Amino acid sequence: MYFEKLVQQHQDAVQAMLINCLDDVQALADICKNAVARGNTIFLCGNGGSAADCQHIAAEFVGRFVKERKGLAAVAMTTDTSILTAVGNDYGFKNIFRRQVEGLVRKGDVVLGISTSGNSENIILALAEAKKKGAIAIALTGPKPNAIAEIVEVAVAIPYPVTARVQECHILIGHMLCDYVDKED
């Protein structure tokens, strides 16, 4: 009974995404597909489980998702411990991704912020910096209203109140993005 409840929550969250978020998923997918087609890079940032999701999604782009293809430019800004600890020590945790965006991101690149709350200060600052640089700021978040959804070009905001279920939807969307980028037109 306990696990059935968790599976039911998962199904409810995915159903809520299906009903409310597919237009935003399509817009996010188009942005990513167009960026890699232009030779731009997708940068990803998030905290905790969302940091792991960034690494997972970047690995699918650089390695491969399902079909054999050339590696695509994607960087999880969550992986360089020297940058994270140096910037965190010198400029504060809130700037760990903003400084990377400042130094690495170019006009036309995509910065994808992942935050289940939608209110992570370090993600907000990174996305704001991306916009200043002429990059495209997009996000995966939990329910609206949230600060991140207000500042990005597209936010897929999962309308479900349980963090774990939101994260499950985020990784599903990550796989959907990879599948869409891989598909032939």
Per-residue confidence at 185, pLDDT binned at 50, 70, 90? low
Q: Is the peptide bond before 145 cis (omega within 30 degrees of 0)?
A: yes
Structure confidence by residue, pLDDT tens digits, 15-46: 999 999 999 999 999 999 999 999 999 999 99
Structure confidence by residue, pLDDT tens digits, 95-150: 999 999 999 999 999 999 999 999 999 999 999 999 999 999 999 999 999 999 99
As a whole number of angstroms, the distance between CA 32 and CA 175 comes to 13
Which CATH superfamily does the domain covering 2-182 fall into? Answer: Glucose-6-phosphate isomerase like protein; domain 1 (3.40.50.10490)
As a whole number of angstroms, the distance between CA 57 and CA 44 comes to 8
User: Which residues does 77 contact at the CB level (< 8 Å), separation at least 6?
Assistant: 43, 44, 45, 54, 96, 97, 100, 101, 104, 126
Q: Measured in whole angstroms, how far is the alpha carbon of residue 123 from the centre of its chain?
A: 10
pLDDT of residue 183 exceeding 90 = no
Structure confidence by residue, pLDDT tens digits, 49-95: 999 999 999 999 999 998 899 999 999 999 999 999 999 999 999 99
Give residue limits of the domains in the chain.
2-182
User: Which residues does 117 contact at the CB level (< 8 Å), separation at least 6?
Assistant: 141, 142, 146
Q: Up-side HSE of residue 120: CA atoms within 13 Å toward CB?
A: 25
**For the whole model, what pTM was predicted?**
0.97
As a whole number of angstroms, the distance between CA 135 and CA 145 comes to 23
Rg, the chain, Cα only: 16
